[in-house]
Amino acid sequence: MTNPTLASSSSAVSAVRTPSPRHYLMCRPEHFTVTYRINPWMDPSLPTDTALAVAQWTTLYDLYRSLGHTVDLVDQVEGLPDMVYTANGGFVIGNVAYGAKFTHAERQPEGPAFMEWFRDQGYRVIEPQNVNEGEGDFLLVGDTILAGTGFRSASNSHEEVGSIFGREVVTLTLVDPRFYHLDTAISVLTPDTDDAHANIAYLPAAFDAASQTELARRYPDAIHVSDEDGSVLGLNSISDGYNVVISSRAKGFEAQLRAAGYNPIGVDLSELLLGGGGVKCCTLELRR
């Protein structure tokens, strides 16, 4: 694992960025294709290359393992090409897995498939009463759950997730169709910390005015990412507290992370971007 380095935050306070081993769930995209359109990134008229998608996904999988992380796998169900985006399959804290209930009919069978996997692994599964797309719209930042709405997850799922896990939930409204899930517009940089030390990177323009105000209040030292980097799903990234895996095309975000003392690692998931997903979309965190 890469060694942490000394960094200076935007408030000029030195901090040591320390990596911590994570536990992820991924799905090998053996049946990846784009045959329908449920987000602005998808275009069924464009050809897809399943072998290339698998190769790019494997690079991400191997990278996580090289960084010392544990990666579990769920088998992709034929006919469910978007199962590769495991982040949408649920939200896990402790031994509890809150299941997903997808908005679009094309993805709805994924919910039961992921919940079956959680049960088989010994998790206590909570079947959702409200539409939600898992960690796509629920991000644990410190002790708080940031929860997205506007395109996919219903706002009443925010009350549900808060009651299940007994945590504060902050509703954030997305307004740009390109950033239809919260994890496309916010990157959690500091896992395993409390609210006082939590930090994020985000794209302000992806949110309505009230959400922008709330994010600025809670995270005054947050990294503000450009639309250019957001538009290649640069914020759809994974951090272990020091190493931050991002889109290799998000060059500005890469420089911002390095200046803040993180170790950005770029990967090319351009084929999976054709389905509207990036690094984080392919990665569900299992917090046990």
Amino acid identity of 80?
L
Distance in angstroms (rounded) separating the CA atoms of residues 177 and 206 = 9
∠ CA 194-22-124, nearest 5°, is: 85
Calpha distance 125→92 (Å, rounded): 9
Cβ proximity of 203 and 232 under 8 Å: no
- Helix ranges, 67-138 (H): 110-120
What single-letter amino acid sits at 255?
Answer: A
Task: Give the dihedral sign, CA 24/87/247/198.
Answer: negative
Structure-token pair, residue 36: 């329908």
Q: How would you classify the pairing of strands 14-16 and 169-173?
A: unpaired
Cβ proximity of 172 and 207 under 8 Å: yes
Give Cα 47 distance to the centre of its chain: 26
Active site positions, annotated: 181, 281
Cβ 116 vs Cβ 146: under 8 Å = no
Q: Could you give the angle at the alpha carbon of 246 between the alpha carbons of 217 and 205, nearest 5°?
A: 40
How far are the Cα atoms of 7, 27, 190 from residue 114, in angstroms, in the given order? 39, 11, 26
